[in-house]
Amino acid sequence: MLALAQQLTESGQYTAIMVSAEVGAAFPNDIAETERAMLRSWRNQAENRLPPDLQPPPWPATAPGQQIQAALHTWARTSPRPLVILIDEIDVLKDEVLISFLRQLRSGYPDRPKGFPQSLALIGVRDVRDYKVASGGSTRLNTSSPFNIKIESLTLGNFSLADVAELYQQHTAETGQVFSPEAVERVFHLTQGQPWLVNALARQLVEVIVPDPAETITPTHVNTAKEILIQRQDTHLDSLASILREDRVRAVMEPLLAGQGLGDVPVDDIRFLIDLGLCRRSSQGGLVVANPIYREVLPRVLSQTSEASLPQISPRWLTPEGQLDPDQLLTSFLSFWRQHGQPLLKSAPYHEIAPHLVMMAFLHRVINGGGTLEREYAIGSDRMDLCLRYGDVTLGIELKVWRPGRPDPLQAGLEQIDRYLAGLGLDSGWLVIFNRRPDLPPIAERTTTEQAQTPSGRQITVIRG
């Protein structure tokens, strides 16, 4: 957006600038102070990015709730060229402050281009139609143009594999450092071309993991960078994850994570998640999480409350040499689940997958010592698969739920984990069946283990709880 504004200004036809609403977040309920803070910030940005003859005049003094409109009106009236204003971080404005801001933009629109910017863009993670809801409109939209001032909503699309290769080649041309073709393909697989992730991985690779430009970047380096991003949960990942608690997001994400069908979910909610970049339609037609990194980040973030609620757990699952002992891990998990599972279920934000989140919280404690936890799930699959890797040990785990009115999922689970373990090249694993039927004994009493075989003869430890 900065480059676009610069290009438009350098064309000699427009005065274009990107400004930010971010400073307004400090005054969530104070319209007047939000406006003043934003206008001070905009003046600083104009002084830094525009030549003196294109900078705004002094902002006029006016009443709260009118300062943004008045400032843009004054600037447009005195500007030697039509104004193009790109307003970033619009998502930080909330409630009455956001409503006031939007109404000022709508009120000034008829005066363009002489008395208001000729073109104005709001930049954030949401479509402009969602700001209509925030400003008092319907929560169910019956039109693609909720504002009569809205011309078009543009989504920054994902990069193609060729785009990623071209971007990384620019780094190679500047520094001589090479990304192997396999590394580029690995980045594309993990990100599906999501622009922020593509750049964030590259930054970790060239600045932290492989700072020597003489060293070629490999898929192993990319996997390390991915783990750093997932564990750090930078601002972009946190901002997406915070949206998971919204009702319309939860209506889609909870059944998706649980492997259930969506049911009667409004199409607008599905479109909302696709617009946000949280989900995409797969080539088979179903809805899936947008990329493998998001697939790991989203359930991990949802399990953070449960993880923070965990008691102190001694890592008895490690051998004296620091290797993972699957048998001791099973013993530790059963002890933890019997003692703490019942109260911890209440800490999970998604009821349908509360047991999954608590178990993942426990496993996150395990991998903090140097392992990884990979997840697979899909709408309609009725399961979640976990792959825990720690040193030389790989453990495949399948999570199933015995729901009210449904038969025991053991047989279906054995068939499903058989296929999952085959893909991992493993001969054994865990099948965990969470019993969510009513009127059951406490978890401490009903948690049991037994041994079973898959149709192809793989040895499975079945955990019921």
Cα separation, 97 vs 103, in Å, equals 10
Cα separation, 272 vs 287, in Å, equals 12
311 & 460 share domain: yes
Cα separation, 173 vs 169, in Å, equals 6
117 & 186 share domain: no
Cα separation, 39 vs 36, in Å, equals 5
Which pLDDT belongs to residue 263?
Answer: 80
**Tally of CB atoms within 10 A around 280:** 17
Q: The dihedral of CA 226, 228, 232, 235: what is its sign? A: negative
Tokens encoding 134: 């925030």
129 & 184 share domain: no
What's the half-sphere exposure (Cβ side, CA atoms, 13 Å) at 277?
A: 25
48 & 167 share domain: no
Which pLDDT belongs to residue 137?
Answer: 47
312 & 445 share domain: yes
Which range of residues forms the domain containing residue 43?
Answer: 2-134
Tokens encoding 424: 């991992």
Instruction: Tell me the average confidence (pLDDT) per consecutive run of 10 residues in the chain, 465 residues long.
Output: 95 97 91 96 96 96 95 97 95 86 90 93 73 49 45 78 97 97 97 93 96 96 90 67 81 87 84 84 84 87 81 86 93 92 84 89 85 84 91 94 92 95 96 92 92 96 94
Which pLDDT belongs to residue 240?
Answer: 66
Q: For the whole model, what pTM was predicted?
A: 0.74
Residue 360: name the closest of 299, 285, 297, 316 by CA: 299
Which pLDDT belongs to residue 127?
Answer: 63
381 & 424 share domain: yes
307 & 363 share domain: yes
Domain boundary among 210, 232, 254: 232
The answer to whether residue 141 is domain-embedded is no
The answer to whether residue 146 is domain-embedded is no
- The answer to whether 328 touches 316, Cβ cutoff 8 Å, is yes
Domain boundary among 92, 116, 134: 134
Q: Is 143 helix (H, G, I), strand (E, B) or coil?
A: coil
Q: What is the CATH number of the domain that holds 199?
A: 1.10.8
Q: What DSSP line would sit under 381-407, residue for residue?
A: S--EEEEEEETTEEEEEEEEEE-TTS-
318 & 426 share domain: yes
The answer to whether residue 29 is domain-embedded is yes
- The answer to whether 15 touches 81, Cβ cutoff 8 Å, is yes
Q: What is the tally of structural domains in the chain?
A: 3
The answer to whether residue 244 is domain-embedded is no
Q: Backbone dihedral region of 123: left (phi > 0), alpha (psi from -120 to 50 degrees) or beta? A: beta
**Angle, in degrees to the nearest 10, between helices 292-302 and 219-232:** 30
Domain boundary among 134, 169, 191: 134
Please list, in sequence order, all residues whose beta carbon lies within 8 angstroms of the beta carbon of residue 318, skipping any fewer than 6 positions away. 324, 325, 328, 369
The answer to whether residue 149 is domain-embedded is no
Q: What is the largest CA-CA distance in the chain?
A: 80
Query: Which single residue is written with the structure tokens 């005049």?
Result: 57
179 & 218 share domain: yes
443 & 322 share domain: yes
The answer to whether residue 21 is domain-embedded is yes
Query: Which single residue is written with the structure tokens 């309920």?
Result: 29
Strands 428-435 and 459-464: parallel
The answer to whether residue 240 is domain-embedded is no
**Angle CA 191–195–201, to nearest 5:** 60
453 & 314 share domain: yes
397 & 432 share domain: yes
Cα separation, 428 vs 410, in Å, equals 16
The answer to whether residue 147 is domain-embedded is no
